[in-house]
Amino acid sequence: MTAPSKRVYWGMTSSFRKVGMLFGAGMLTLGLSGLGAQVDINNAQLPLPVLFLHGMSGDASSWGGMAALLSNDAGLTEGQELRYCLNGDGAQNPSTLDEVLPFTALPQGQADFFRLNFECNAGGTCWSNPSANSDGVFSGQAAAAKQGLAVADAVAEILDATGAEKIVLVGHSMGGLAAREYLQNPEYWPVDEEGNAHHRVAKLVTSGTPHNGSNFSVGWLEDLGDLFGFDIEQRSDAVRDLRTDYFYSGDPGVFLFGGLEDDWVLWDFLFQNFWSVDVNCDGDEDDLVVGLNEKPLSDDLEFAFITSYDDGVVSAFSSDAVTTMYNPTHRERFFVDGVFHTSLNDELALTLRGMDEPDDLATAYPLVAGQTTMGFTSQQGTDAPYPDEDRDVYALDVEAPSLATLDTLWFGGGLLAATWLDGTGSILGDALAPDGVILESGTAYLRLTTAPSPAVTNHLFAATLGPTPTSCPEDLDQSGLVATSDVLVALSQFGCTLDLLPEGCSSDIDQDGIVGVNDILAILSAFGNEC
């Protein structure tokens, strides 16, 4: 039978282009070594949920183009928007962490991606809603420390609701710093049953993020914001935290590089200053702050950094600075010309390239047996270990020795190879072998190698685990000997059919759908054989 397929292509321009798509109806039945396995190709899922974070001048709608592409074109499921007010009391000063108000409790269930919204007022009405009245609250321009706390809450909500092991974070502009504020403060991390804390992030993608700060807003940001339709207050906590250094004092930005919370240090304008110098939002304005770029950054996750040479707000050096500051092991970098800062989140194909699945066993995404998984084939970025091919690695937990069969439902990018690996990277077998590959108990890794094209394409696949074949099917009790016990098992199932026992009749030796005389004779003819 020809498998129906879902086909989506995304071009490399800022506006995506849907070339073609076919949706298959119903279930695809796979014949796997006599097993009746079923894979639902219309319920494809990403291996891990993705959380999109907007920048200082944005809101949840900033990722509207990406949400439309993933839900409408790719058929993925968007979860409920996660909404936060970061200035719950509406006051400008002081600004403490207890002002962070969450408004979303996610229902239990699967979802592929989520959007976070910082632009909400204390009543829970958000900027992306036409009736919102967030102006004057400046929730989206609150301190980076508050944004990190909100990200921590969102991560916990998503993990709890979906049951996922980890999450992927994608941040535009200051959204990337909010993600880092969470990643680099272990007190925000979820704690497991043994009391161990971990960030639970599989990949961080930042786009136009000022990792080394930005002084773009000095003096005239407010007027520029009015001109281009976004309301930025140059005295706000967010602008304070984005500073590379301060205009009047010349000192490095305290949030990023550390230093003293002091009015003379954080002095940015001759006639007006920031509303607050409480960078860590603890209620005191005289702390010695450890800067974000002074804190350790975990190296057990993937990183991708997207930089525009024509950003106009964040320098290419600042956007790419994590590579020099921390030199993460698993990283890719993507560079583009001619894209202004506020349009980077609309570079959908570029963002998808940044979201590329891991090519290393150490950071492999989880794979669930029997579940249709959607992945992407894309051109690789700078620092990619395999620049001319797209390698994606998934980890599959195998509870007992099993026969693994891979179904390649749709590969728009051209599947070059599919290989099962053990934990050392040694090859266990060709995943495309028609008879399958026997996997032992433990964790096995599936490596898919595809051929990138100028467009980003999606692909669908499913791995199925079944019982290992026996050298003699007449040994029904798997004792290693065809004996009286096997005859008794067959007699107890005499007349069994799949209608009566849908999970299968183990004594159906000849696989004709019924346990009959021929099956009894087959066992008797093998009586006494060692297996």
Q: What is the pLDDT of residue 530?
A: 81
Give yes or no for a contact between 415 and 431, defined as CB atoms under 8 angstroms apart: no
Classify burial at 173, counting beta carbons within 10 Å of its beta carbon; exposed 0-12, middle 13-18, buried 19 or more.
buried
Confidence of residue 299 (pLDDT cuts 50, 70, 90): very high
Q: What is the pLDDT of residue 90?
A: 72
| pTM listed for this prediction | 0.84
- SS3 category, 243: coil
C-alpha span between 145 and 181 (Å, rounded): 7
**Higher-confidence residue: 424 or 228?**
424
Helix H or strand E encompassing 488: helix 484-492
Across the range 125-153, mean pLDDT stands at 84
Fold equal for 50-354 and 364-469: no
The domain spans of the chain are 50-354, 364-469, 484-525
Across the range 65-92, mean pLDDT stands at 91
Across the range 314-343, mean pLDDT stands at 96
Highest mean pLDDT pick, 235-249, 373-387, 498-512: 373-387
Helix H or strand E encompassing 149: helix 144-162
CATH superfamily name and code, 50-354? Alpha/Beta hydrolase fold, catalytic domain (3.40.50.1820)
Please state, for a pLDDT cut of 90, what percent of the chain lies above it: 64
Cis preceding linkage at 387, omega within 30 = no
For 496-516, how does the pLDDT look when each residue is reduced to its tens digit (9 = 90+)? 887 776 566 788 888 888 999
For 385-418, how does the pLDDT look when each residue is reduced to its tens digit (9 = 90+)? 999 999 999 999 999 999 999 999 888 768 999 9
C-alpha span between 123 and 132 (Å, rounded): 10
- The DSSP call for residue 241 is H
Q: Is 50 exceeded by the pLDDT of residue 70?
A: yes
Q: Hey, what CATH class is 364-469 in?
A: mainly beta
Residue type, 117: N
Tokens of 177: 């710093």
Across the range 126-130, mean pLDDT stands at 72
Give yes or no for a contact between 202 and 365, defined as CB atoms under 8 angstroms apart: yes
Closest CA to 304 of 172, 206, 175, 173: 206
- The DSSP call for residue 283 is S
- SS3 category, 491: helix
Measured between its terminal Cα atoms, the distance across the chain in Å is 35
Give yes or no for a contact between 320 and 307, defined as CB atoms under 8 angstroms apart: yes
User: How many other CB atoms sit within 10 Å of the CB of residue 428?
Assistant: 17
